[in-house]
């Protein structure tokens, strides 16, 4: 399954849903890869951020 995002809230919602449902995620930005299946995750979702203009900051809130 692919989730196409345009806003940071879209990304946050997708990650929150995946965490609540114990679904693995894989980010995708440039849509290019040397490996055929790199843009897929078995039983999970791919969060595509290619329509976003820029990333301002990334905060690590891992426990």
Q: What is the pLDDT of residues 20-44, one digit of tens each?
A: 999 999 988 876 655 555 567 788 9
Number of domains in the chain: 1
- 56 inside domain: no
Q: Across 3-7, 13-17, 23-27, 32-36, which has the greatest mean pLDDT?
A: 13-17
CA dihedral 37, 11, 54, 32 (to 10 degrees): 10
- 19 inside domain: yes
- 20 inside domain: yes
- 54 inside domain: no
pLDDT confidence tier of residue 17, bands split at 50, 70 and 90: very high
pTM attached to this predicted model: 0.71
- 36 inside domain: yes
- 59 inside domain: no
- 53 inside domain: no
Domain extent, residue 13, equals 2-48
Task: Cite the beta strand spans of the chain per DSSP E.
Answer: 2-4, 25-28, 45-48
Higher-pLDDT residue of 2 and 53 is 2
Q: Indicate if the pLDDT at residue 7 is higher than 70.
A: yes
- 58 inside domain: no
């Amino acid at each position: 399954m692919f989730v196409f995002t345009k806003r940071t809230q879209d990304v946050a919602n997708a990650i929150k849903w995946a965490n609540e449902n114990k679904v693995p995620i894989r980010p995708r930005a440039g849509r290019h890869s040397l490996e055929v299946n790199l843009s897929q995750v078995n039983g999970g979702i791919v969060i595509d951020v290619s329509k976003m203009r820029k990333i301002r900051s990334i905060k690590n809130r891992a426990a």
